[in-house]
Structure 1
């Protein structure tokens, strides 16, 4: 679905929510209290500024007795089968974010991955998968990255743990290509990258992948990921705690210039290793 038609569909979702809410005699505040979000969030849903999470859409259906209408709309608009169910809403939010800040403790983030690197990651977790399945997942990941190629590119800030640079995912040649891709995006000013060196030792959010997103007309969100599960946070106090931890990571990481030099050095190390095998 193209971005324009997707936005129009979300506007329809919002207008239907407003109509059914008013028919049921609820204010935005009253509906929000019954589905465990604020009245302001209901207003943002109705204006197509913010997209509800699946459990919220289900609670709205139950309260308004809408026979699963909002859940079905949610699945049609967000639940892209190319992505894990817990991650599909994040992909939707990335498309409208004005700023994305990410911490990657073990892998290059999906928005920065080359096809070769993404393929190696997919095969590592799905060694018996058909080629068609793997290529569909790789294509979806590369499609996500298109938000860095347009004219309205979000401010994108990434902190990589140093081990991300050292582990030769896909082999040394693939890894060198991957790091060269990151270097190219940095030089084109599409992303600002810092490296958290191994010498730091313990650090905030240790071992946790984290993504923070900000929007022009909606509150910020935070996303964290665990084993085959993810958690999208939009409660202001929790998002602020994640932001505070991310700020501490920034303070502990190498400056951008030194980080770029380290990435270039790691790329050369992988390239030399590839040439000797």
Structure 2
């Protein structure tokens, strides 16, 4: 599979589903035909493939990318003679434009592993309200007060994952210079560092800092986000100025895994990272 082309839509654009593509709609139509041939309604069929009826509907309408495990289960349940697997190969090659961040946030809610490397700003899952407020108020073009409030609310709600997913393995690697930048002023940044220390204290949340003295490392090409679903499928997400790229290609994900593993070995160990943050907090 080939990773998708960069989206021209904002990564903060909040739509529930990706924009339909011809191959997504084609796969959905083929799947719907086999389901009807087998005599199942969506409600009857959904439990057989262990997905919700709404997910089945979204896939058949071409609004949701079908997970590989869904395709395999559908092949067995519908006795599709390999037709769904063949259609899926064409879907996975599609270069699609979509509001991927919303779908990524939905996957976060189910992830059993979530890895994040950041070299630009504090990851959204770790931001305080004050830190996020500063970022959104400085957004260009300017956001209205109601838009800022809505975005902050959504960002804070995402942080419930740490309590709701105690068995999820969270890993964060953040560049030291990001944590030394006094975003919002010294007081706001002190609170931000305190928040990071608190939220990464549980055993299932790991934090590493990439020291500034490390001149070159495996993450110089940009941020990396990786997650693993309960079905043990891995997805990746990368951001740029005005685009978000959702990656399903196993080959591309393997490369990002290798880079993330190297980053872990190049960053400060978790204990040393916490010690550095404590010293930085004391200096503010």
CA distance in 2, matches of 1:88, 1:54: 18
CA distance in 2, matches of 1:234, 1:34: 13
- Equivalent residue number for residue 194 of structure 1: 208
Secondary structure of the 1:231 match is: strand
Residues 86 and 231 of structure 1 are in contact (CA less than 8 Å); yes or no, is this contact kept in structure 2? Answer: yes
Residues 128 and 192 of structure 2 are in contact (CA less than 8 Å); yes or no, is this contact kept in structure 1? Answer: yes
| Residues 114 and 230 of structure 1, relative CA distance in 2, 3 Å threshold | same
CA distance in 2, matches of 1:261, 1:244: 27
Matches within 5 A, 1:33-182: 33-36=89-92, 55=96, 85-126=99-140, 128-182=142-196
Secondary structure of the 1:199 match is: coil
CA distance in 2, matches of 1:261, 1:123: 31
Higher relative contact order (CA 8 A, sep 6+): 2
Runs of 4+ aligned residues of structure 1 deviating over 6 Å after TM superposition are 15-19
RMSD in angstroms over aligned alpha carbons?
Answer: 3.0
| Residues 225 and 14 of structure 1, relative CA distance in 2, 3 Å threshold | closer
Secondary structure of the 1:149 match is: helix
CA distance in 1, matches of 2:227, 2:194: 26
CA distance in 2, matches of 1:90, 1:235: 15
TM-score, length-scaled by structure 2 = 0.70
What displacement does 1:152 show?
Answer: 4.2
What displacement does 1:30 show?
Answer: 2.7
- Equivalent residue number for residue 183 of structure 1: 197
Q: Which runs of 5+ in 1 are unaligned?
A: 38-52, 57-78, 80-84, 271-277
TM-score, length-scaled by structure 1 = 0.72
